[in-house]
Structure 1
Amino acid sequence: MQQSHVSSKKVVLRPRKYTVSIAIPSGILDTAPTQELKTVLAGQIGRLLAIYNVDEIIIYDEKARNAFAASEDNTHTGSGPSNLFLARVLQYLETPQYLRKALVPISKDLRFAALLSPLDSPHHPQLDERTKYREGVTVAKPVKEGRGSWVDVGLKNQIQIERVLKPKVRVTVEMGDGAEKKSTTVSPKTPREVLGLYWGYTIRLAGSFSRVLTESPYKDGYDLTVGVSDRKSEPLAEQTNKLKPFSHMLIAFGGPNGGLQNAIDADEDLQCAGEDANELFDMFMIPSATAGSRTIRTEEGIHMVMTSLQPHIETHGQINT
């Protein structure tokens, strides 16, 4: 079956320094009864978040009582099998196809990876596509001492960079012309901050909901937080005044097992009851006030919320660019 493609006008990208993070529960896949369907659902979520330029995906354990219990109950940084399955599928999807063999370990969790639709993001270029930046992986190829490393960036020929790195290290490369300008490694943030290109997402596992907030990779944490729930929440249109200029935005979603309120109730490290979950966020919004269904699945809520927030994200985030 052929995939349909919707053409869109070419937009002018602006350098972007602000980031958008999404927190989703590990139980988001619980509604899918088989591994095959869980894989497809995880892929749909990954593509959806890439379409909306999400920079960080946080998968949290909504059933953890506290940080100590999460660490004791699981051996993977407080994350159980559901967290790891979702993380593996999302990581596979985010990794450019030409890097997967080197960077993505073989796993039973990826048995149905062939069903995943590609992200088709700027950091997944075609073989002969000319781009200023490319993702690459260092390879074990002999090089003169102090002359750097060889990198596979998905072209017919490997390129040489100035840094000496071990094999199988993922790098972001600013492409040179092979003559006066040499190829150099840059931060993965550079394509976004310099050209405004969406350059994929990072994945973080959080052993409880409180860790979503306390283990932020940003020095000053998240300066604009939005909680999404259908309980004790208001439509976006009634509280746009709560949106403010931001550098790092967090949007948190609950899951099919009681939503954000249950995740907060289960977390003993939070001095807040689930019924008062709105107090943890700058804004607490309902996915849709006019939905024709009594229930909204989390992945459907993500689409609704991101669609309504996108203009505000671009307006308030650009102020900090």
Structure 2
Amino acid sequence: MEEHDSTFVNVTSNKNKKNKKRKKNKENEGSNELSAQELNVSKKRKKDFTSHNINFVHLFKEIPQRIPFIGKPRRNTLSVSLPVSLIENVQSDELRAYVIGNIARTLTIYGVNEVVLYNDLGDKSTRWMEYFSMNLRYLETPQYLRKFLFPMDPTLKYTGLQNPVNAPHHLRSSEWLPYREGVVRLIRRESTYTSLYADCGIFSSVRVLNKEDLEKIYGLEYLTDEEGDIYQRVTIRLDEPSLAKCRKNWKEGKVFDSTEPGTLSGYLVDPEEPLKVAGLYWGYVVRESDSFVECQKGCPFNESGKYDLRIGTSERGELYSPATRLPKYNNAIIHFGPVLGLENVIDEPEKKFDKYYNFCNNQKSRTIRTEEALLIALSLVTFTNPL
């Protein structure tokens, strides 16, 4: 995200002193109006920039310019649905792992916010649903958190064959952003230790300044009666003093993966905040559905659970051309069918969607595999209708 330093400079020398003084006062205030103007947000969204008394103008200046994937803040979401049979048709577990890795990279490259896996295999889908969803979740999780969230499991045997997705939230120990993924270990209720810390894969654990918000944001109380260690994945927004320490260590070339305890602090935030406020794509969520009909419900991004734009894909659909423009939407979902198409899982699919498109005109192969259709469709949709 570019720094607009020219905003803070008087560009005309012949302004009267009164105007200069007024402008200078406005600069010193670091007002929310300036931050909203710089980030091109509407008045309705100014409240997003006042949380925890943080000056968001300075916060965004902490984002290193070398990071290439910062986009415009956005609130609309893009979901896709995929059949579980997609991986049943693959010849071996090694190839399955590799195919899922490519799917995860496709979802990340094009900024998909949710992937819904639906059962199109009947009773035998249980094994493949678990295999598919666990591998997708594993790949979306930053590497430094996997040891906390994924115990040894044969389902993840071939993850070494999968290419990393390299998403914005997969930060290396030597990289930093205002936001970072972490895990918190819940506190035993009878414990005298009351501070909550997050492990975010950097040179210090992060003291959580709003631990009471864990239940409001993530539906989990920070105190527990359970035995053993219980971890919850969270999104942390570092406060300004902590960002200054990160910047200092980064400039001095210090090792970031040391275990300097408790020198950083920050706030628990909604996982959607990095995208909505900073324009940082923050990964996808995986949802499992018992049937294709059910996968069209339960949108996690609004209270109604409905998608306001439903797109079906088929070689029998309307041709999607470079001139195609989608209607405005808040939460869109693109449905992909199995080898035999959506016609195999739903009757008269052309009547069940808001749009029904053929994304590959004049195909030369008899069939297009679902993972291939996913790549083709997302490349066209995001090119003609940028997120």
Q: What range is the shorter-chain TM-score in?
A: 0.7 to 0.9
| Mapping of residues 198-217 of structure 1, within 5 Å | 198-217=281-300
Q: Identify the residue that residue 138 of structure 2 maps to in structure 1.
A: 92
Deviation at 1:239, TM superposition (A): 8.6
Q: Identify the residue that residue 170 of structure 1 maps to in structure 2.
A: 233
Q: Identify the residue that residue 279 of structure 2 maps to in structure 1.
A: 196
Name the SS for the 1:102 alignment partner: helix
CA contact (8 A) 1:228 1:251 kept: yes
Determine if the alignment matches structure 1 residue 21 to structure 2 residue 79.
yes
Closer/same/farther in 2, CA of residues 238 and 156 from structure 1, 3 Å limit: closer
Distance, in Å, in 1 between the alignment partners of 2:243 and 2:384 is 44
Of 120, 137, 142, the residue aligned with 1:62 is: 120
Of 328, 333, 349, the residue aligned with 1:245 is: 328
CA contact (8 A) 2:98 2:161 kept: yes
Instruction: Specify the code of the residue in structure 2 equivalent to 1:260.
Output: L
Q: Deviations over 1:134-182 (max 9, x none)?
A: 000113789x968531110001221110216254111100012249994
CA contact (8 A) 1:139 1:150 kept: yes
Name the SS for the 1:158 alignment partner: strand
Determine if the alignment matches structure 1 residue 154 to structure 2 residue 201.
yes
Instruction: Specify the code of the residue in structure 2 equivalent to 1:297.
Output: R
Distance, in Å, in 1 between the alignment partners of 2:243 and 2:164 is 34
Tell me the matched-pair count.
283
CA contact (8 A) 1:63 1:263 kept: no
Distance, in Å, in 2 between the alignment partners of 1:117 and 1:39 is 10
Q: Deviations over 1:38-63 (max 9, x none)?
A: 01101111111111100000000124
> Whose radius of gyration is greater, 1 or 2?
2
Q: Deviations over 1:265-309 (max 9, x none)?
A: xxxxxxxx2xx1111111111131122222211111111111111
Tell me, which stretches of 5 or more residues in structure 2 are unaligned? Answer: 1-65, 213-221, 224-229, 245-263
Of 339, 342, 345, the residue aligned with 1:263 is: 345
Tell me, which stretches of 5 or more residues in structure 1 are unaligned? Answer: 1-7, 65-72, 265-272
Determine if the alignment matches structure 1 residue 49 to structure 2 residue 107.
yes
Deviation at 1:195, TM superposition (A): 0.8
Instruction: Specify the code of the residue in structure 2 equivalent to 1:168.
Output: Y
Distance, in Å, in 2 between the alignment partners of 1:200 and 1:10 is 16
Q: Identify the residue that residue 235 of structure 1 maps to in structure 2.
A: 319
Instruction: Specify the code of the residue in structure 2 equivalent to 1:251.
Output: I
Q: Deviations over 1:169-205 (max 9, x none)?
A: 1110001224999400100000000011110010000
CA contact (8 A) 2:187 2:194 kept: no
Q: Identify the residue that residue 222 of structure 1 maps to in structure 2.
A: 307
Deviation at 1:19, TM superposition (A): 0.4
Between 1 and 2, higher relative CO (CA 8 Å, sep ≥ 6) is seen in 1
Instruction: Specify the code of the residue in structure 1 equivalent to 2:86.
Output: I
Distance, in Å, in 1 between the alignment partners of 2:322 and 2:68 is 32
CA contact (8 A) 1:18 1:247 kept: yes
Name the SS for the 1:183 alignment partner: strand
Deviation at 1:114, TM superposition (A): 0.9
Closer/same/farther in 2, CA of residues 9 and 61 from structure 1, 3 Å limit: same
Normalization by structure 1: what TM-score? 0.81
Closer/same/farther in 2, CA of residues 152 and 237 from structure 1, 3 Å limit: same
Closer/same/farther in 2, CA of residues 211 and 289 from structure 1, 3 Å limit: same
Deviation at 1:248, TM superposition (A): 0.2
CA contact (8 A) 2:310 2:355 kept: yes
Closer/same/farther in 2, CA of residues 148 and 285 from structure 1, 3 Å limit: same
Instruction: Give me the identity figure in percent.
Output: 31
Distance, in Å, in 1 between the alignment partners of 2:243 and 2:142 is 27
CA contact (8 A) 1:14 1:196 kept: yes
Deviation at 1:313, TM superposition (A): 3.5
Determine if the alignment matches structure 1 residue 304 to structure 2 residue 387.
no
Closer/same/farther in 2, CA of residues 147 and 141 from structure 1, 3 Å limit: closer
Closer/same/farther in 2, CA of residues 213 and 179 from structure 1, 3 Å limit: closer
Of 351, 359, 369, the residue aligned with 1:279 is: 351
Q: Identify the residue that residue 365 of structure 2 maps to in structure 1.
A: 293
Distance, in Å, in 2 between the alignment partners of 1:201 and 1:179 is 26
Deviation at 1:105, TM superposition (A): 2.5
Deviation at 1:216, TM superposition (A): 2.5
Determine if the alignment matches structure 1 residue 118 to structure 2 residue 202.
no
Deviation at 1:29, TM superposition (A): 1.1
Deviation at 1:32, TM superposition (A): 1.4
